[in-house]
Amino acid sequence: MTSRVISAFAAEEEQRVLSLKPVLAPVHGRYGDHPHQVYDAWPADDPDAPRVILLHGGYWRYDRMHLTPFAAYLAEQGFDVLLPGFRRSGGAGGYPETFDDVARIVDTLPDGRPYVLAGHCSGGHLALWCAARGLLSAGSRWHTRTLPTGVLALAPLTDLVATRDDDLSNGAALQLLGGPEHFAERLPEVDPLTLLRGAGTTGVPTVLLHGAVDEEVPLTQFADYAAVHRDLRTVVLPGTGHYTLIEPGAPGARAVADTLRELAATFPERRPEPAHEETAHR
């Protein structure tokens, strides 16, 4: 397969956004014992501020630090923001550990509050997968009836077969599922498009937002998912690439914040939240 070639526009966008200086969160906590089972938090002063849990991208391999400027930006827009880490491909994660951690995140960190689960790129894949966990067989280790209140998938990878076939990020999908010998066997439990076929909906209010000139994720991934998900809302931003969706203050990021507010406006009335431990960064 030929090497991926991107335009000067896309190359500059990627360099500009991924070179932003990480932002230190005011609060740091844990949801497990592994060093990757941690989260950064930007608590809102308003106890009724909408909660957003962000799942970072990086083709399931890289850490969350590149998303800290965007998390801080959302906090400035009035959201209560959690940015968790999780075990990742190429190290302690991949199948099943990455999925174990993400399931644990959404099962524990919301603290009984309604929330939007938002994810960018491979984080968008994980967010869409969380919305589809109710479609898993009852015998699956990840089956649940407690689903996110809403999902916002930002330029997501929706189709692991296409991700493999297009060799995105040098075999990232194969690495996630443990290599070609395990891919077909493990795919049905962790691929959003596969899970959605037949059901046609996850039952979770879901928005797919992407740039019209995204050169990182093929636009067919978005179109193919939208063709199967019958009540999906799709937002396409003209002239916008893959990374400006998470660039603080950029038009794409402002559109993300507006969409989060729209999703949060449909939240049910908030239930009391139990206390949990949070430890300040030192």
pLDDT tens-digit map of 44-100: 999 999 999 999 999 999 999 999 999 999 999 999 999 999 999 998 999 999 999
- The one-letter amino acid code at 129 reads W
pLDDT band at 246 (very low <50, low <70, confident <90, very high): very high
Q: Would you say the C-alpha torsion 148, 154, 156, 158 has a positive or negative sign?
A: positive
pLDDT band at 1 (very low <50, low <70, confident <90, very high): very low
pLDDT score of 160: 98
> 84 with 31: CB under 8 angstroms?
yes
> 225 with 232: CB under 8 angstroms?
yes
CB within 8 A of 143, min separation 6: which ones? 133, 134, 136, 137
DSSP letter, residue 85: -
Domain assignment of residue 238, yes or no: yes
Domain assignment of residue 44, yes or no: yes
pLDDT band at 5 (very low <50, low <70, confident <90, very high): confident
**What's the pTM value of the predicted model, to 2 decimals?**
0.94
Tell me how far the alpha carbon of residue 58 is from its chain's centroid: 10
For the chain, first and last CA: distance in Å?
47
Q: If DSSP codes are grouped into helix, strand and coil, which group holds residue 151? A: strand
Count other C-beta atoms under 10 Å from residue 91's C-beta: 11
Domain containing residue 140: 8-267
Domain assignment of residue 280, yes or no: no
Domain assignment of residue 2, yes or no: no
Q: Would you say the C-alpha torsion 54, 56, 60, 65 has a positive or negative sign?
A: negative
Helix, strand, coil shares of the chain, percent, nearest 5, are 35, 15, 50
To 10 degrees, what angle do helices 122-131 and 97-108 make? 60
Q: If DSSP codes are grouped into helix, strand and coil, which group holds residue 19? A: coil
> 175 with 169: CB under 8 angstroms?
no
Distance separating alpha carbons of residues 44 and 183, to the nearest angstrom: 41
Q: Residue 73 sits in a domain of what CATH number?
A: 3.40.50.1820
Domain assignment of residue 213, yes or no: yes
pLDDT tens-digit map of 125-182: 999 999 999 999 999 999 999 999 999 999 999 999 999 999 999 999 999 999 999 9
pLDDT tens-digit map of 171-221: 999 999 999 999 999 999 999 999 999 899 999 999 999 999 999 999 999
Tell me how far the alpha carbon of residue 236 is from its chain's centroid: 17
Give the chain's domain count. 1
Whether 270 has a pLDDT exceeding 90, the answer reads no
Q: Which of 200, 208, 89 is nearest to 156 (CA)?
A: 208
pLDDT score of 280: 40
pLDDT score of 186: 98
DSSP strand pairing (38-42 vs 80-84): antiparallel
pLDDT score of 56: 98
pLDDT tens-digit map of 223-244: 999 999 999 999 999 999 999 9
CB within 8 A of 9, min separation 6: which ones? 213, 241
Domain assignment of residue 219, yes or no: yes
Domain assignment of residue 282, yes or no: no
Domain assignment of residue 207, yes or no: yes
CB within 8 A of 227, min separation 6: which ones? none
